[in-house]
Amino acid sequence: MNSRDNSTPLQGRRILLGVSGGIAAYKSAELCRLLVKAGAELRVVMTDAALEFIRPLTFQALSGHPVASSLFDGNSDDAMEHIDLARWAELILIAPATADLLAKLAEGHADNLLLSTVLATRSPLAVAPAMNQQMWAAAATRESLLRLQHRGVLIWGPEAGEQACGDTGEGRMCEPADLLDDVRRHFEPGPLQGRRLLLTAGPTREAIDPVRFLSNRSSGKMGYALAEAARDAGAEVVLVSGPVCLPAPAGVTRIDAVSAEDMRRAVLEQLPETDIFIAAAAVADYRPAQPADQKIKKSADRLNLELIRTPDILAEVAGLAERPFCVGFAAETRDLEHYARGKLERKRLDMIAANRVDGEQGAFDNDDNELAVIWADGSIELPRQPKTRIARELIAIIADQFSRRPNDD
Ligand code: CTP
């Protein structure tokens, strides 16, 4: 049925390129050229503001098709153009996507051809933001992005660097070649296609009494980034999450857990048919032996809490006779490799990703991370980079090692 050649994943793909009004619009011409060269069929829709930056003739020449811009332009005798385009496109990519456009997308506006096409489509939408660094950092833009992310909109970039306005910071549109890679990746069948991946993330909370608990500084960012990367690699992803302030990634099944025991129960419930298990949660190792039924009142000068071990979820899963490919994390403050190898062997894991959790560069609650990835007969150092990017690299390594395991079916 699927006769598509995977070496040219863009051949014949129908992509609608939306161009909004930013200085980066000139880069979209190169993107258009690269996409056409890669075999994609392109239609271009420009906003009125985009017309101020670049002429439609450029895109018409590059895509080989007339450029649409207005809902009611005299050139079109098709009142349903936005519906036709919305149905035609297999992917809508808006590059550049200005702050104004992102806000309108988040609000669901439809007062131009591009916005109404987006609203009328069932196909995936990707945006490549481009704006001044302060506008990118603005609370309103953050909120728009969060809403779009929540709806499953793919956000590609932006990059940090020198900006057209003279500022330096995050907000520059990704280079056309990088966006071409993103589009390719989007259409490629991922290495985890058809696989089920179960993952834990975030901290756990161990009750002391009804209002107090023991926990740790894990933000869940690394685990959530892994869930997204695994989804993008084609896996069916189930995320068992401790209490964090992150939205569930679109297309990922999230199951909430509070304590280590809750998390263990949820993991064991979800385990059947799982191919890969990643334990990224910072599970509390101990819990109060006897959580109080009522709030503990301050009476004595000294209070002793007796703690007992929580179940080791990862060790339990890795110890099962029928077990998935098991990946653990090692959070260490010293002798990283030494302790990580020890855990790999002791817990009988297939792979362990070790990170430092001390100091300002530590992994906890940080957007960046660096990892030493270790398995029985190999290791790779992943240098410091945003957690979203390091997650993609780690998932690629996991997929590769998973495919090499002796009993691969
Ligand atoms: N882990 C788990 N259940 C626990 C404790 C840990 O599933 N109760 C998992 C973590 O998700 C992580 C790995 O085990 O993938 C390593 O956890 P870590 O706390 O670093 O190591 P420990 O084996 O608990 O050893 P130590 O605390 O002595 O460093």
406 pLDDT band, cuts 50/70/90, is confident
The answer to whether residues 243 and 200 touch, using CB atoms and an 8 Å cutoff, is no
Ligand 1 pocket check for 343: Cβ under 6 Å: yes
Residue with tokens 């985890």: 192
* CA geometry: angle 149, 150, 152, nearest 5 deg: 65
Query: What is the Cα–Cα distance from 129 to 95, expressed in whole angstroms?
Result: 7
Å from CA of 329 to ligand 1 middle: 7
Is residue 395 scored above 70 in pLDDT? yes
- Report how far ligand 1's centroid is from the alpha carbon of 72 (Å): 61
DSSP-derived 3-state class of residue 53: coil
**46 neighbors 40 (Cβ within 8 angstroms):** no
- The reply to whether ligand 1 has any atom less than 6 angstroms from the CB of 285 is yes
Confidence of residue 355 (pLDDT cuts 50, 70, 90): confident
Of all protein residues, the one whose alpha carbon is nearest to atom 9 of ligand 1 is 314
71-122 pLDDT, tens digit each = 666 555 565 678 889 999 999 999 999 999 999 999 999 999 999 999 999 8
Mutate to test the pocket of ligand 1, among 214, 312, 355 (most ligand atoms within 8 A of CB): 312
User: What share of the chain has pLDDT > 70, as a percent?
Assistant: 93
Taking the CA of residue 346 as reference, the ligand 1 atom at the shortest distance is 23
Distance, CA 149 to ligand 1 centroid (Å)? Answer: 31
Query: 356 CB under 6 A from ligand 1?
Result: no
- Which one of 205, 329, 357, 364 would you pick to mutate in the ligand 1 pocket, going by the greatest count of ligand atoms within 8 A of its CB? 329
pLDDT at 362: 64
Q: Which two tokens stand for residue 74?
A: 């005299």
* CB 344 less than 6 A from any atom of ligand 1: no
CA distance 250 to 258: 22
CB contact at 8 A, 294 and 209: yes
The answer to whether the Cα torsion of 15, 130, 186, 235 is positive or negative is: negative
3-state secondary structure of 110: coil
Q: Which of 148, 155, 154 is nearest to 108 (CA)?
A: 148
As given in the structure block, the two tokens for residue 102 are 């992102």
**pLDDT score recorded for residue 4:** 45
The answer to whether the bond into 96 is cis (omega within 30° of 0) is yes
Please, which residues have CB within 8 angstroms of residue 135's CB and are 6 or more apart in sequence?
Answer: 99, 141, 171
Q: Is a pLDDT exceeding 60 seen at residue 56?
A: yes
d(CA 343, CA 239): 23
Token output for 122: 């069932």
DSSP 19: E
Q: Which atom of ligand 1 approaches the CA of 317 most closely? A: 7
The span from the CA of 28 to the CA of 157, in Å, is 14
Residue 359 has pLDDT above 80, yes or no: no
Q: Is the CB of 331 under 6 A from ligand 1?
A: yes
- Quickly list DSSP for 262-302: HHHHHHHHH-TT-SEEEE--B--SEEESS--SSPPP--SS-
DSSP state of 155: E
**Is the pLDDT confidence value at 2 over 80?**
no
- pLDDT for position 409: 52
Query: pLDDT tens digit string along 181-192?
Result: 999 988 988 899
Beta carbon of 336 within 6 Å of any ligand 1 atom? no
Kindly state the average pLDDT of the residues 332-337.
86
Residue 129 has pLDDT above 80, yes or no: yes
The rounded Å distance from CA 244 to ligand 1 centre is: 18
Amino acid identity, residue 51?
L
**Residue 310 per-residue DSSP state:** P
CB 330 near ligand 1, within 6 Å: yes
Report all structural domains of the chain as residue ranges with CATH numbers, in order of start. Answer: 14-187 (3.40.50.1950), 196-293+300-404 (3.40.50.10300)
* CA end-to-end distance (rounded Å), the chain: 22
Pocket test for ligand 1, best of 314, 325, 335 (most atoms within 8 A of CB): 314
Q: Is 329 in the pocket of ligand 1 (CB under 6 A)?
A: yes
Mean pLDDT of the chain: 91
**Burial (Cβ within 10 Å: 0-12, 13-18, ≥19) of residue 205:** buried
Label residue 1 by pLDDT band (50, 70, 90): very low
Which single residue is written with the structure tokens 């990892």? 371
CA of 281 to the centre of ligand 1 (A): 8
Task: List pLDDT tens digits, range 33-50.
Answer: 999 999 999 999 999 999
- For the chain, give the percent of residues with pLDDT over 90: 77
For the Cβ of 402 lying below 6 angstroms from any atom of ligand 1, the answer is: no
Nearest residue (CA) to ligand 1, atom 17: 330
Closest to 304 in 3D by CA, of 289, 318, 314, 286: 289
The pLDDT tens digits for 16-25 are 999 999 999 9
Between the CA of 338 and the centroid of ligand 1 the distance, in Å, is 15
Please indicate whether residue 206, judged by its CB atom, sits closer than 6 Å to ligand 1: no
pLDDT greater than 80 at residue 318: yes
pTM of the predicted model, to two decimals?
0.72
DSSP symbol at 203: B
Tell me what pLDDT residue 192 has.
Answer: 96
- Would the pLDDT of 66 be above 80? yes
Tens of pLDDT along 241-290? 999 999 888 789 999 999 999 999 999 999 999 999 999 999 999 999 99
Instruction: Provide CB contacts within 8 A for 211, sequence distance 6+.
Output: 295
Eight-state DSSP code of residue 253:
E
Residues with catalytic roles: 165
Dihedral (CA of 273, 275, 278, 279) sign: positive
What pLDDT, on a 0 to 100 scale, did the predictor assign at position 8?
79
Res 98: pLDDT: 97
